[in-house]
Amino acid sequence: MSLIILLSIKPKYAEEILSCYKEYELRRGVVFRKGCRIVLYASTPLRAIIGEFTAGRMLTGEPDEIVEFIRATGPRGVTEEDISYIAEERCRVSAIEVINPVKYRHAITLGELRMHGLRNPPRSYLVLRLEHPVHAKILSFSMVYLGSSFLATRLAQYRRTFTSY
């Protein structure tokens, strides 16, 4: 089954991911498989899908374990503010490695998403299964705006990701 994860994120952090500055995204209680396609919905004031990345390595554990990992590896783009935010959590936390970030040339606005069946953007994330109408919109958007060369490159990247287990 082909899944797309629609991840709601503040525009500042989305831009850091898409500019290849941020190497890990920290989240509460989220577990995605390596190789998942993570599509970024930038929240207010943008309120649009602006890009995507592939989920790489994923470390999930207690907040102190993730903080220890972050401090030991020192990934670019993870700030002390991020660390203190997850350190205060009482639930499991995940560090998702950002691989192959791609910024879309044209955003998919919240209005367009609503026309394709998404009532409200996710508060954290939403798993879009193959049969979800927004899934089809994202795929068709990729084909129109990113071109076939992008899709060929993305397919090659996915193959490398899945063979590197």
Q: Residue 146: pLDDT above 80? A: no
Above 50 in pLDDT, residue 1? no
Q: How confident is the model at residue 131 (pLDDT cuts 50, 70, 90)?
A: confident
Q: What is the pTM of this model?
A: 0.82
pLDDT given at position 69: 92
Residue type, 30: V
Indicate the domain borders of the chain: 4-163
Nearest to 112 by CA among 46, 51, 52, 49: 49
Q: Is 97 helix (H, G, I), strand (E, B) or coil?
A: strand
CATH topology of domain 4-163: 2.30.130
Predicted pLDDT of residue 164 = 44
pLDDT tens per residue across span 57-67: 999 999 999 99
